[in-house]
Each structure stands twice: as C-alpha cells, then as structure tokens.
Structure 1
C-alpha cells in the first residue's frame, strides 16, 4: 500500500520547465519548421529545372568558422558563469558578441560576392533561395546578437552568476541553435547548389 502511495505522489508532480525556456523551445521548433519547409521547397524547385549553377562565395566558409568559434567562446562564458568567474564570463560574452557582428558582416560580404557572380535575389530561383536562406538566418542572428548584448549588460550588473543562470542558459541555447542552423544551411547549399 505504501508503494502505491509513493507512486501516486510521484505521478502528481508535474515536469517543471521555466516558462521562458519553454517559449524559447517553441520558437526554435517554429524556426526549424520554417527552414525545413524552405529547404524542401528548394529541392522541389531545383528538380523542375532552369536552375542556376554557381559556387558559393568563399566568405561563407570563413563565416562558418566564425560562428563555430563564437559558440566555443560562448560555451566558455557559460562555464565561467557556472564557476562564478565573472571576469571570464564578461570576456567570453564580449568576444561572442563581436564574433556575432563579424558573422553578420561576413554574410553581407557574401551577398556582395554573389552579386559579383551575377547571382541576384530577383531572377533565377537558385539565387532567390540563397538570399532568403541567408537573409532569414541573418535576421534571427540579429535577434541573437541583441540577446547577447542584453545578457552581457546583465553580467556587468551582477545579474548573471552561478545562482542565476536562466537567462544565460536561454541565450546559450538560442546561440548554439543559430550556429547549428547556419552549419546545416551551409552544408545543404554545398551539397545542393
């Protein structure tokens, strides 16, 4: 009988998740669905023919390295926060924020390189898809950089430390997601251009 009561009490305890983290995960799932639909549409449209063949600009390779490096620096900042090493947290946040802006600038230069190769937003669908992929990802990355700056400011106000990690964890999750999304898009475009 006692085992049955313990089982019932354990079953009544809900699985708890911070409401903002739950909202972030819903947003991430939505973004995944958008990009899954876009990449599916890309493959379907490519199979119809009239598809411009071109090499991706070299700058996209560099931007991929930048986004991976930014994830590493952000992870270092997160580990530092868990250890209450606030100086390293701030340094890691500043470096990650700068790398995020550098990534966005590199994407802009990628667009310039595309124009130099006569790949435009209007015209052939191959170019249109590429601009939509990189532009939509860039828009999400702008929101990620803004989130980074908010967390960076909070770290200077001593609002991020080992006992208060929820906002930092959400930012880390979102940033790693954006990095993974870019790597997925880049590999997809390399294999399907």
Structure 2
C-alpha cells in the first residue's frame, strides 16, 4: 500500500503558458511604473518643482476607466454563460470606454498646457506627460486586444469552454484600470 502512494505523480501547480507570459508582461509594466514614480519622488525632492493642479478631466477619466472594469466583468460573465449577444455588447462598450479614456487624457494634456505645465521645461510637467502617455499607450494596446477578442467572439472561438484569451484580456484590462487608479492618486497626492 505504501508503495502505491509513492508511485503516483504529485499534483503540481500549472499556469497556461500564454497566461504566464502575460503575467510576466504585467510584472514588467509594473516595474516600469515603479521606476517612473520613484524617479518622480527623487526628482521632486531636488527642488525647482512647478506645482499645479491635476486637470479635472483626469477625475472623469478615472471614473470612465473604473466603469470599463465593470463592463469587462460583464463580458467575462456573459462568456461563461455563452450569452454571445451580451458578450459582444460588453466588449464593444469596454472598448468605447477605453477610447473615451484616451480622449479625456488628451484633453487633460491640453489643460496642462493652459496652466503652463509643458512636456519640455520643468520636470513636474514632463513626468505627468510621460506617466500618463505611457499608460495611454498600454490602454491603446488593450483596446486593440479587445477588438481581436471581439473578432474571435464573432467566429465563435470564445465561449464557456474556451475562455483563455478572454481571461487574459480581462486580466490585462483590469490591471491597467488598477494601475491608472494608482497613478491618478499618486499624481494627486505628490504635487
């Protein structure tokens, strides 16, 4: 009896290879933004720091990206129930909210110019442009990813028994949402 128990393979923890690669990508993004925020704090401590209020539109963009997490959750739930019409609607709404977020970020940059916070000049403005811009590029990639997923849904490649791609998209989307909330509060409280 003892011999039989030792011959059985032990159950190991495994992660889908594509999900593992995505998590490595998320870790690298996290490290980039940790470096940005650390550099921001170090440079701010050196002095010669132009203080300005964050544009009000950044508050609105935060609400939009948080709402997009809810619609992405709806998409995931719809896929698990094979409710394809709701899945398509939820993905499209999430992508639209992502696009609205990006437009609001650009409007926020215009407001920064109005208060004389430029990309070139005082580093306080430069940091805000770089941090929001790099995050925006990641949101662009996530919106493109949403359309790839939407195309796969139309081809019936995503359903309750094939969720890996949608799960990866949802994880990436929620990560970017959480990252923005962190960045927003970081910029809000570190002026």
Range into which the TM-score falls when normalised by the shorter chain: over 0.9
Q: Of 20, 45, 60, which aligns to 1:47?
A: 45
Q: Quick one: distance in 2 between partners of 1:34 and 1:175? A: 17
Aligned to 1:173: 171
The alpha-carbon deviation at position 15 of structure 1 amounts to 2.3
The alpha-carbon deviation at position 10 of structure 1 amounts to 4.3
The alpha-carbon deviation at position 125 of structure 1 amounts to 0.5
Aligned to 2:63: 65
The alpha-carbon deviation at position 164 of structure 1 amounts to 0.5
Q: Quick one: distance in 1 between partners of 2:122 and 2:7? A: 62
Q: Deviations over 1:101-120 (max 9, x none)?
A: 11111101010110111100
Secondary structure in structure 1 of the residue aligned to 2:8: helix
What RMSD in Å do the two structures reach over aligned CA positions? Answer: 1.2
Secondary structure in structure 2 of the residue aligned to 1:38: helix
Q: Quick one: distance in 2 between partners of 1:9 and 1:31? A: 40
Q: Quick one: distance in 1 between partners of 2:161 and 2:178? A: 28
- Whether 1:122 aligns to 2:120 is yes
What runs of 5+ residues in structure 1 fail to find an aligned partner? none
The alpha-carbon deviation at position 153 of structure 1 amounts to 1.1
Secondary structure in structure 1 of the residue aligned to 2:52: coil
Aligned to 1:152: 150
Aligned to 2:8: 9
What runs of 5+ residues in structure 2 fail to find an aligned partner? none
Q: Quick one: distance in 2 between partners of 1:111 and 1:118? A: 11
Instruction: Give the TM-score normalised by structure 2.
Output: 0.96
Secondary structure in structure 2 of the residue aligned to 1:64: helix
Secondary structure in structure 2 of the residue aligned to 1:78: helix
Q: Deviations over 1:14-72 (max 9, x none)?
A: 42211110000000000001100110110011011000000000000000000000000
Moved beyond 4 Å, runs of 4+ = none
Aligned to 1:183: 181
Q: Quick one: distance in 2 between partners of 1:122 and 1:42? A: 15
Q: Quick one: distance in 2 between partners of 1:10 and 1:66? A: 48
